[in-house]
Structure 1
Amino acid sequence: MAKASTTVKAKKPNVFMRIGLFIKQIIDELRKVVTPTAKELFFWSLAVFIFVLLLMAFVTGMDFGLGKLMLWMFG
Structure 2
Amino acid sequence: MKAKSAEKKPNIFVRMGRKLKEVFSELKKVTWPTFGKVVKATGVVLVVVVIFLVIFGAINYGLGELLKLITSLGSGS
TM-score range, shorter chain: 0.7 to 0.9
Greater share of residues in helix: 2
Partner of 2:53: 56
Structure 2 counterpart of 1:27, which letter?
F
TM-superposed CA distance for 1:58, in Å, is 1.5
Identity of aligned residues (%): 30
2:24 aligned with 1:27? yes
TM-score (norm 1): 0.77
TM-superposed CA distance for 1:47, in Å, is 0.6
* Secondary structure class of the residue paired with 1:18: helix
Root-mean-square deviation (CA, aligned residues, Å) is: 1.8
The runs of at least 4 aligned residues of structure 1 exceeding 4 Å deviation read none
Superposed CA offset, 1:8-60 (max 9, x none): 31212211111111211221221122221233122211111111111111221
Q: Which structure 2 residue ranges, 5 or more long, are not aligned?
A: 73-77
